[in-house]
Amino acid sequence: MIGVDIERIDKIRELKIEKLDRIFSNEEKEYAFRFSDFAKHFAGMYCAKEALVKALDDKTLCYNKISVIHSDSGKPSFENNEYLSNILSKYGVKKIDVSISHIDEIAIAIVEIN
């Protein structure tokens, strides 16, 4: 489980777009900016990516190539793109489950790989 202080992510407004681009995909930015409390959503997606890095024990993963997507009901998952497929194949991962939650101050994510 990974957690992050949302206030830290809320400073994203002050960041240059290049820094956002290093962490989040275009789809993730579009998703988060739909909400007035976008920092919570950015924080949750960041935590999910960090949890995946920890679960795989691979710090070389490129964050902006791993995209968190959400179903119509809001359930998060990782987009099964070519980059992630290659990583999962490398580690023999067949399934990933992700859960993201946040309250006013903290966002957390849990990733389970099988």
Quote the number of domains for the chain. 1
Reported as type and span, the H/E element at residue 26 is helix 26-32
Looking up residue 48, the CATH number of its domain turns out to be: 3.90.470.20
pLDDT digits (tens, 9 = 90+) for 65-77: 999 999 999 999 9
pLDDT digits (tens, 9 = 90+) for 18-49: 678 889 999 999 999 999 888 899 999 999 99
Which residues form the domain of 60?
A: 2-113
pTM for the predicted model, two decimal places: 0.88
Q: How many residues does the chain have?
A: 114
- 3-state class (DSSP) for residue 34: coil
